[in-house]
Amino acid sequence: MQRPAQERSHLTASEIPTDESWTLIKAVRLVADQILNGRPMRDALRLGGRLVAARLMSVMTLVVAAWLVDIETFAEFGVYQTLATLASIALFLRYDAAILSSRVEKDAEDALRFCVLIGVLLWSGFAIAAALAGKMGLMREQLTLLLPLSILVRGILCLSLVLTTRSGDFKGIGRATLIQSAVQPTTLLVLVLSPLEDVLCFAIADIVGHASSAIFLMLQRRRTFAKLRGGWSSSSFASVAKNWKALPFYNLPSSFFSLAFVMSPLLIMPMVANAVFAGHIALAYRIFDVPTQIITAASTPIFLNKLRPMEEKPSPIFGRHIMLGLIVFLGLAYALMAACLILADPLLEGSELAGLADAVPLVAAFQLFVALAAPLNDSCSLYLQQKRLVLIQAMSLFVGIYAAFLATRMSPEGVLATLAVVSACRALALGELLRKLSRLSSLSFVQEPLKP
């Protein structure tokens, strides 16, 4: 598409844009218009606003609590929280994705019952393992009693969030997040002022916070949960297990690989860099992790709801123009945040934070593509074909580990730059995979499910 002649007449030959450049500009303008005026973006902004408020309340309360507890408490609770998170990821063997992906409500209800069955069995195993760990002295015995409760409420919250996302109730998700962000820190402050041990205060507040959010969403979806009373049959369980067998075999390891790659800078940098630079990387990571979590939490439910297969119409297709728009939109946001931190660096001169600007650009690039990849990765779980998804995550993690081994031949900055490049390639690969999967799903709307 060329500009009108009266506009081009004021330009020299070298200044006249090519057809390709105007096509790119038109695509960016189209995506920008959809982002600013489309309902999904308005929903994302509303949900994001609630998540920002929730994050601010949590951070402020955590800062206050930090003055009242021993610093070692954060490390011990960090281990406890990591175990609870990993167990909750595996609790349903990722069959919770089948609830969201089912085209008809009956299939979604069958998948929900199957998740409850698997969840009860695996939760019992986790509870026994926690009790054994306590008896063997591997973990504080009081924490081994609380860990199964933490896994349980996380599992209930997971199912509630999936059902809420399927219904498109983004306002409900935002309200549940606000409830947890108010209840959990408040409970923590009350408990740390009591004689109770600090780490137990954190663990109990964690359970109460997740439970408050889960109860709110369960009440919102009480009609769906009420249907769990009937419809239990071995044939329906066998059908769900057969149709979605790719989820435990491919999506579950993919989830662990993804988590390991996202955390790789925090794990690798202390091994390849000096303590000061590693500390700057960790601090910059935490700073950019805040907008990353907000963007992820705000965009993922909307992606899952809009791209999920539906009975009444063919599945929408994730286009490359959407990917381009997201890169431009999020790239500008992260670049602006990074620029502010770099400009503030002279003010930090003489403090332990001096030199933070050296870590900011690479960490910002890494986190930018982590934020971009998160909803794409979760959206890929909507489809039966999961082999390429686990391959992308495994390759990303492998290259990250390989970069760590090459640290003796390159600088820590080089290792971090490699991780940032891999993060970008991973996001682009997930975007292209999602485009292909959504197109296959749309084409197979009236056909039998495709083989994984």
DSSP for 191-219, please give it. HHTSSS-HHHHHHHHHHHHHHHHHHHHHH
- pLDDT confidence bin for 207, thresholds 50/70/90: very high
- Mean pLDDT over residues 205-211, rounded? 92
What is the structure's pLDDT at 10?
A: 43
As a whole number of angstroms, the distance between CA 400 and CA 407 comes to 11
What is the structure's pLDDT at 71?
A: 56
- How distant is the alpha carbon of residue 203 from its chain centre? 22
What is the structure's pLDDT at 30?
A: 45
Neighbours of 71 (CB within 10 A): 8
Torsion sign (Cα): 286, 292, 296, 298? positive
- DSSP code per residue over 382-427: TSS--HHHHHHHHHHHHHHHHHHHGGGTS-HHHHHHHHHHHHHHHH
Q: Where exactly are the structural domains of the chain?
A: 41-243, 245-452
> Tokens at residue 355, please?
């030199």
H-helix segments, 221-262: 222-226, 234-243, 246, 252-262
Per-residue pLDDT reduced to its tens digit, 61-88: 555 555 566 656 766 777 788 788 889 9
What is the structure's pLDDT at 15?
A: 39
pTM of this prediction? 0.75
Which residue in this structure is represented by tokens 């709110």?
216
- Mean pLDDT over residues 98-113, rounded? 88
Per-residue pLDDT reduced to its tens digit, 216-231: 999 988 888 888 888 8
Does residue 32 have a pLDDT over 50? no
Quick check: helix, strand or coil at residue 50?
Answer: helix
What is the structure's pLDDT at 115?
A: 95
Residue type, 50: R
Residue type, 448: E
Per-residue pLDDT reduced to its tens digit, 159-196: 999 999 888 887 888 788 888 878 888 888 888 888 88
Quick check: helix, strand or coil at residue 441?
Answer: helix
As a whole number of angstroms, the distance between CA 361 and CA 418 comes to 13
- State the chain's mean pLDDT as an integer: 80
